[in-house]
Amino acid sequence: MKITLLTGKTFDIKEAVGMDIRVVQSPNSRKLILHIDNKERIPVLSIPRFCSRKRAINFVNENIDWILETLQKLPERKYFSSGETISLFGQNITISHQPNARCGVRLDGDTLIVSGGAEFLHRRVKDYIRKAAADEFYKLSAPLAAQIGYKINGICIKDTKSRWGSCSTLNNINYNWRVALAPHYVIDYLMAHEVSHLKHPDHSPAFWQCVADLYPDWQKGRDWLQKNGRLLYTYF
């Protein structure tokens, strides 16, 4: 990927480091930062606006072992399949493909019944989870917002590459649908985190105190996301 710096210089480091590296400029950053895009499964290098090609290449080469090790830890991607048990809002649910059922997708106890052709099963399950997440996340977030004197204008479910959630100045909250597959204490933490941003747009001590007030066991949820969040990108 070619990057054009503010100086007008353009460079591409893929050939030099021997792998695909997405390079993005971060105008407010003073240092180089590497992370893995869990969705696209490629390394991403954030660079300051004045960064030479040589400096970028050296930084990647210095961290090549970490990149390779982290990429190897990523689980294989897969599609939802019949007979598979997944965690949905903290409850174990078994997917059951019943082609002739006249329900579309329906949750019956701990069984998620999916009708229609097998080729549509993954998309139907994913669409069901996204819709269910919009309802469930609003039900969980709205009372928390009321506790701190705010009202949520809307909930939007997205499939973001790295963020689990975000909060706008218009009091709209975005959530990654994949969080619905996490343990319930992780969901509770994320709800408290994003709702707290209604009052505190930063990550100041006051913000974290607000999170703790809404969900005292928040650190357990944050730790899980930091250690296991990549597992939520198992599914396409």
Q: Which CATH number applies to 85-233?
A: 3.30.2010.10
pLDDT of residue 24: 85
pLDDT tens profile 32-55? 999 888 888 888 888 888 888 889
Q: Are 195 and 140 in contact (CB under 8 A)?
A: no
Entry pTM: 0.81
Q: Give the residue extent of every domain in the chain.
A: 2-73, 85-233
CA distance 210 to 191: 12
* E strand map for 51-202: 85-88, 91-97, 105-108, 111-114, 154-158, 165-167, 172-176
| Mean pLDDT in residue range 64-84 | 92
Quick one: pLDDT at residue 8? 47
Distance of CA 23 to the CA centre of its chain: 20
DSSP β-ladder status, 111-114 and 105-108: antiparallel
